[in-house]
Structure 1
Amino acid sequence: MDGYMTIKETAELWGLSPRWIQTLCSDGKIDGAVKFGRAWAIPSDANRPKDSRVTTGEYRNWRKK
């Protein structure tokens, strides 16, 4: 399909794992991503979404506090 990439192509382009790309698609974080059966089609001009996971360690050992 013209103008769309597969999950594998997107993962290689953005430097992420294919499984993480699938998760981003299913969560609706990639604009314009469409599911055809079991495969995702991602627009070629889609921007990589911001990683919103907490990486500061702020919540490390939160149960012990």
Structure 2
Amino acid sequence: MEYMTVRQAAKKWDRSERWVQTLCIKGRIKGVYRPARDWLIPAGAECPRDRRRRENRGEDGP
């Protein structure tokens, strides 16, 4: 399986590296793991939706 780093994922998804790290810590990215110090993210992983944005909350709100 191919993996990408936090830096590569941040660039691919147009997000900050810190935000991608937070997603990893919270388990919001499927297949992510941390064998040592760095996070490894599957190359085909999708960027999780940002729950803070209204268009991603649904019609009921938060």
TM-score with structure 1 setting the length: 0.77
Instruction: Write the letter of the residue equivalent to 1:50.
Output: R
Instruction: Write the letter of the residue equivalent to 1:10.
Output: A
Considering only CA atoms, is the larger Rg found in Structure 1 or Structure 2? Answer: 1
After TM superposition, the runs of 4+ consecutive aligned structure 1 residues lying more than 2 A away are none
Q: How many residue pairs get matched?
A: 54
Residue 19 in structure 1 maps to residue 41 in structure 2: no
Deviation at 1:42, TM superposition (A): 0.1
Task: Give distance in 1, aligned partners of 2:51 and 2:8.
Answer: 22
| Fraction of identical pairs, as percent | 43
| SS at 1:40 equivalent | coil
Q: Which has the higher strand share?
A: 1
Instruction: Write the letter of the residue equivalent to 1:31.
Output: K
